[in-house]
Amino acid sequence: LKDAGVQTVVRLNYLQEPGMTQPSYDASKLSEFGMRHIDSPFEDVKGAVPPMELIAKLLDTLTQAEANTASKEAICFHCKGGFGRSVLLACCFVILELDVSGSAMLGWARVARPGAITTPRQEAFLASIAGREDLRKKIYASATAACCTLQ
């Protein structure tokens, strides 16, 4: 990872999940190599789309981390389930950073990592994002709706 310029590792699985033969790695080991580690696990039930609040929190954390660095750095998104968590969130980050459409990212993911988008729900979610502002509306609408809805 270090040779590839990775400075931030985002783990999207829990420390132990069904199908894992052993617990996930000790994240503190990455700091020995000067890397940041972000845990952002969510239950991946056969290709789920992450909760909007989780996407918002993760993208905020990554944006803040980037603001504190002098240049853009490589970020590694990973999970252990194989149901599309990592590529979906990596696509969201690129949409936020580069203001590209979710459809463009879906096409990129299919070329770069065939089979990584595993469900129609994930495909529909990405395809529904027109760009940066649309993504922001989607992920922050649910967070503000919960706190600010008048009854």
Alpha helices by DSSP H, listed for the chain, are 28-31, 52-67, 85-98, 102-112, 120-127, 132-148
- Phi and psi for 32 in degrees, rounded to 5? -65, -20
In percent, how much of the chain has pLDDT > 70? 93
Q: What is the distance between the alpha carbons of residues 13 and 15, in angstroms, rounded to a whole number?
A: 7
Give tens-digit pLDDT for 46-62: 788 999 999 999 999 99
Residue (of 66, 12, 3) closest to 33 by Cα position = 3
Give tens-digit pLDDT for 12-48: 999 998 888 899 999 999 999 999 999 999 988 778 8
Q: Retrieve residue 56's tokens.
A: 């918002």
Q: What is the distance between the alpha carbons of residues 53 and 128, in angstroms, rounded to a whole number?
A: 17
Give Cα separations from 101 to 68, 73, 87, 95, 122 (angstroms): 26, 22, 15, 6, 14
Q: What's the confidence (pLDDT) of residue 71? A: 73
Q: What is the pLDDT averaged over residues 108-120?
A: 93
Say if residue 151's pLDDT is above 70: no
Angle at 73 between CA 69 and CA 77, to 5 degrees: 120
Say if residue 144's pLDDT is above 60: no
Total-model pTM: 0.89
Task: Determine the distance from the C-alpha atom of residue 74 to the mean position of all C-alpha atoms in its chain, rounded to a whole number.
Answer: 14
